[in-house]
Structure formats: structure tokens, C-alpha cells
A = this chain, B = another copy of it.
Amino acid sequence: MEASKIDFIPGGTVTSPQGFRAGATYAGIKKKAEHSLDLGILFSEEPCASAALFTTNRIKSAPIVLCQERLQKGRAVALVVNSGCANIFTGEQGLADAAEMADLAAQGIGASPEDILVASTGVTGQPLPMKLIRAGISQIALANDGGQELAKAILTTDTVPKETAVAVRASDIKFTIGGIAKGSGMIHPDLATMFCFLTTDAAVELAFLRSALRKAVDVSFNMISVDGDTSPSDMVLIMANGLVGNEPISPGSRQADTFQQALDRVCIYLARAIARDGEGATKLIEVTVNGAISAAEARLAARTVVSSSLVKAAVHGADPNWGRIIVAAGRSGVEVVESNIDLHIGDVSVVKGGRPLPFSEQSVVRVLKQSEVPITLHLNLGTASATAWGCDLSEEYVTINSQYMT
């Protein structure tokens, strides 16, 4: 068997896989036209096996309610998405508006409304400006290279679009997985929803697609510090149109592992991009916990450290305050034995066997001033590991979030 190969595609995006088209327009929903586009469509020439994970917030946006229902059958053809208004806390009118958005998109592309998904992000508690949306949808032109426009149309407080794709060679087939995402990291802002829309031209069995997406999200989007403040609109969607013509990938397939690995890489790439672009963020923090007694404990410890406001603030100021890392792990609730702990900040060993080592403060400060700050905590109690990503906490974060509506 030929070894599988996974390569990132330069300029890759959600329309890199065969048979996907996208387009976007500025409909005027965003008051400040920060990113100029605010309404877009993602379309597949062939109906897709489709799976998604949704917010766990008890308050759900109208589009989430619609998508949860429509994806029970595991099939979708297109997604229509807007930024500027989240259609959250909008009652019956919100549900009707979401359904109308899908109907309008369905007419434009000649599909059944039941195969259209909807996503919205932006301000809470205000009705969708349907007049603008009706006019806007008819303006959208779909193109094979339209992914980059769509990546811009879903942004809110994000400063950069987030998109990627990988070319995969597995056994006897070649396929592509692409994706775009939005989100402003840090503690996840409720008004700046996290989206990720993934596509692939591989044929994938629905049950396997659902399980692969769950696994990929567990090592990517569920490991960034945006996880704390779950938005009512959070959504990670994958659409597989099968245009490659392969035998559908299933748990028994030769390509199953490769597909999972490729999907993980795309999701981790986009999750890191979200963390790095956190509101007010100036750097990416990567926390790896090794030697935990279970995977669940490794994940919890890594997420707790990367979510700690005190750790984030110390990294922001390049303050070599390593005690905060250990204290955050200690309060996470996982098994921790002080005398077993080793801690590395970048390549600098600062704690060994529970005792602080003499280290040059300047060498730690140098690591903390990097654009990516790796922190590795060895609990030395078991064999489980996990990695989480986050960003620093800056004064700018507070400024952004104390002036959102006014």
C-alpha cells in the first residue's frame, strides 16, 4: 500500500475541492463595512453528505434551530450565511426569517429549500433586515474560486480571513478538504460567533463523516480558549459531495485514517487561526500537557491553563510568572502531584520535579515575546497528552468589548 500524503494547498480555501462554488456581496447588514462583504452562499454542484456540530448554549440562534432540524437527514446542497446580525433571541419572527433566507437562496440556485442551510453572526436581539437580505441574495454570483470572498463575508471583529485546504493522496484516490472559519478567540464573544465551514470532494459515508467531524473538532475547535463563552450560533459544518467518485469512505476503508488525519489538520489549522486572531490578541499561546492520568484530564488541564486570564495577561506583558501556569493546572481539578511537575516555557526548563530551577529570566522573557508561545507542562503521572490554543489578554480586548454596541 502506497503511503498517504497530506499537503497544504497554497491559497487553499473552501472552494478548493471539486464542485464547490461560492460568492458574496455587501448587502448593507453591517453598519460599518469593515470587511465590505456581509452575505454569501456556499454551493455544491452535487448534493452532499453533510454533518455539523452546534453550540451547546441553551439559547440558540434561529439558524441553528433550522440547521439542526434539516441536518437530521444528513444531506445539504448549499449554505447561505450573513454577518452583522445574528438572528438570536428573535422568537418566531427569527425562525421565519431564517427559513425565508433559505428559500431565497434555493430559488437563486434552483435547489429544494430543505437542502439549504443558514448561518448568521453579529448583533443579538435584533431582527434580520430582510429587505436588505432579499435584495442582496439576488446579487450573489457563484464562482469556482469564490471561497475567498465567502471567507471575508463571515467576519465580524476578526481582523483576517481564515481559510485553508489540503490535497490528500490516500491509497488509490486523491481528494481535497477545504475550509473557512471565523471567530475572535480569547473568551468566545457571544456576538462574534465561531463558524467553520468545511468541504470535501471525497465520498464519505454519513455515519463516518459525523464521527470524523466530532473527533476533529475535539482536537481543534474544542481545544481553543474560545470554548469558554459558547455563542448561541456556534457551528462547524462539513459537506462531502463525492465528486472524486471513490467508494464512500467508511470506518473499514483503507482511507479512513488518512481522511481523519487530513480533517484534523485542516481543523487545527483553522482553530489556531481563530485563537491567533482573538480580540485584541498579539500572540498565540500553545499549551501542551503531558503525563496526565487520562485524555480527559490532559484536555481539561491544557484548556484551563490556556484560558486563565492571569496566564494570558502574563504572556501579554512577557512577565515570567510561571507560578500562574502551575496554579491554573492545580485548580483545574485534575490529578496533580507537586513533586512530579516539570514545566518548560519554550525551550527553557523552569521547574523540574516540583522545584523551581535557576533559569535566566531573560531567556523566558525572550520566549514570551515570540508571536507563538509554547508552554509544556509534564504532570508525570500517566501517559495522556493534549494540546490547547489561546491568545494573550490585552488592554485592547477590554476596550473592544466595552464599546461593542455604543
**A232 and B356 within 8 A (CB):** no
Tell me what chain A mostly uses at the interface: helix, strand, loop, or mixed: loop
**Complex interface: chain B residues within 8 A of A336 (CB):** 58-59
Nearest-neighbour CB distance to chain B for A345, whole angstroms, equals: 13
**A190 and B316 within 8 A (CB):** no
**A356 and B310 within 8 A (CB):** no
**Complex interface: chain B residues within 8 A of A2 (CB):** none
Nearest-neighbour CB distance to chain B for A128, whole angstroms, equals: 14
Alpha-carbon separation in the docked complex, A404 to B310 (Å):
10
CB < 8 Å: which of B88, B189, B327, B402 contacts A319?
B402
**Complex interface: chain B residues within 8 A of A326 (CB):** 59, 89, 124
**Complex interface: chain B residues within 8 A of A56 (CB):** 331
Alpha-carbon separation in the docked complex, A399 to B339 (Å):
32
Interfacial residues of chain A within 206-264, with CB under 8 A of chain B in the complex: 229-232
A332-353 vs B, Cβ < 8 Å mask (1 yes, 0 no): 0111101100000000000000
Alpha-carbon separation in the docked complex, A258 to B350 (Å):
52
Is there a chain B Cβ closer than 8 Å to A202's Cβ? Answer: no
**A314 and B404 within 8 A (CB):** yes
**A313 and B401 within 8 A (CB):** yes
Interfacial residues of chain A within 373-406, with CB under 8 A of chain B in the complex: 393-395, 397-399, 401-406
Nearest-neighbour CB distance to chain B for A146, whole angstroms, equals: 31
**A393 and B404 within 8 A (CB):** no
Is there a chain B Cβ closer than 8 Å to A8's Cβ? Answer: no
Is there a chain B Cβ closer than 8 Å to A330's Cβ? Answer: yes
**A229 and B310 within 8 A (CB):** yes
Alpha-carbon separation in the docked complex, A318 to B401 (Å):
11
Question: Taking the full assembly, how many copies of this chain does it contain?
Answer: 2
Residue of B nearest to A234 (CB): B331
Alpha-carbon separation in the docked complex, A403 to B365 (Å):
12
**Complex interface: chain B residues within 8 A of A196 (CB):** none
Is there a chain B Cβ closer than 8 Å to A151's Cβ? Answer: no
Nearest-neighbour CB distance to chain B for A16, whole angstroms, equals: 34
Is there a chain B Cβ closer than 8 Å to A91's Cβ? Answer: yes
Alpha-carbon separation in the docked complex, A394 to B187 (Å):
15
A107-146 vs B, Cβ < 8 Å mask (1 yes, 0 no): 0000000000000000111000000000000000000000
CB < 8 Å: which of B91, B187, B190, B230 contacts A355?
B91
CB < 8 Å: which of B58, B123, B356 contacts A125?
B356
**B398 and A313 within 8 A (CB):** yes
**A393 and B403 within 8 A (CB):** no
CB < 8 Å: which of B190, B310, B321, B329 contacts A328?
B190
CB < 8 Å: which of B321, B323, B395 contacts A398?
B395
**B191 and A309 within 8 A (CB):** no
A398 in contact with B393 given A57-B331, A323-B191 (CB within 8 Å)? yes
22 pairs of residues in contact across A and B, judged by CB atoms under 8 Å: A58-B330, A58-B336, A59-B330, A88-B327, A89-B323, A89-B338, A123-B323, A125-B356, A191-B310, A191-B323, A229-B308, A229-B310, A309-B401, A310-B401, A313-B398, A314-B404, A316-B402, A317-B401, A317-B402, A319-B404, A319-B405, A394-B398
- Across the A-B interface, give the 9 residue pairs with the lowest CB-CB distance, nearest first: A317-B402, A124-B323, A59-B330, A313-B401, A190-B327, A395-B395, A58-B336, A58-B330, A313-B402
